[in-house]
A and B are shown apart, each in its own frame.
Chain A
Amino acid sequence: MEWLEELFPNVAAYWEKFLASCSATMQMFLIGGGISLVIGFFFGVVLVITRTGGIKENKYVYTFVNFFINIFRSVPFVILLIFLIPFTRLIVGTAIGVRGAIIPLCFGCVPFFTRQVETALSTVEPGKIEAARSMGSGTLGIVFRVYLHEAVPNLIRVITITAISLIGLTTMAGAVGAGGIGSFAINYGQNLHHQDIVNVCVILLLILVSVMQTIGNTLAKKTTNRSLFRK
Chain B
Amino acid sequence: MIEINELKKTFQTEKQFVHAINGVNLRIEDGEIFGVVGYSGAGKSTLVRCINFLEVPDEGSITISGFGTYTARNGKLYHKDEGSDKETPATDKQLRALRRSIGMIFQHFNLLDRSTVFENIAYPLKYTGMSKEDIAARVTELLELVDLSEKVNAYPSELSGGQKQRVAIARALANNPKILLSDEATSALDPDVTESILKLLKDLNKKLGLTIVLITHEMAVVKSICSRMAVMENGKVVEEGNVYDVFADPQAGSTRRFVNASFGINNLEKLTETGVVNVTSNSKLIRLTFDRASVGEALISEVSRKFDVNLNIVLANVEILQDAPLGGIIILAKGEKENVLAAIDYFRSCSVKVEVIADGMA
Contacts and interface: CB of A to CB of B under 8 A. Distances in A.
B153 A141 contact: no
Interface of A: 125, 127-128, 130-138, 141, 145-146, 149-150, 152, 223, 225-227, 231
Interface in B166-225: 168, 171-172, 174-175, 181
A225 B113 contact: yes
A145 B110 contact: no
Contact of A149 (B52, B114, B127): B114
A225 B164 CA distance: 14
Contacts of A223: 114
Contact of A138 (B96, B102, B115, B175): B96
Nearest to A128: B110
A141 B54 CA distance: 16
Contacts of A152: 114
> Dominant SS at the A interface?
helix
Query: Which of A141, A146, A226 has the most chain B CB within a 10 Å cutoff?
Result: A226
B108 interface: yes
B155 interface: yes
Q: In which size bucket is the chain B interface?
A: 20 to 34
B99 A133 contact: yes
Nearest to A137: B96
Contacts of B52: 134
Interface string B13-46: 0000000000000000000000000000000000
B114 A130 contact: no
A132 B168 CA distance: 12
B114 A227 contact: yes
A111 B157 CA distance: 34
A202 B188 CA distance: 53
Query: Which of A125, A136, A231 has the most chain B CB within a 10 Å cutoff?
Result: A136
A125 B171 CA distance: 18
A127 B110 contact: yes
A135 B100 contact: yes
B124 interface: yes
Given A150-B114, A225-B155, A131 B106 contact: yes
A136 B103 CA distance: 10
Given A136-B124, A149-B115, A131 B153 contact: no
A174 B100 CA distance: 55
A149 B112 contact: yes
A141 B168 CA distance: 19
Contact of B106 (A127, A141, A226): A127
10 contacts: A125-B110, A127-B106, A130-B106, A133-B99, A134-B104, A135-B99, A136-B100, A150-B114, A223-B114, A227-B115
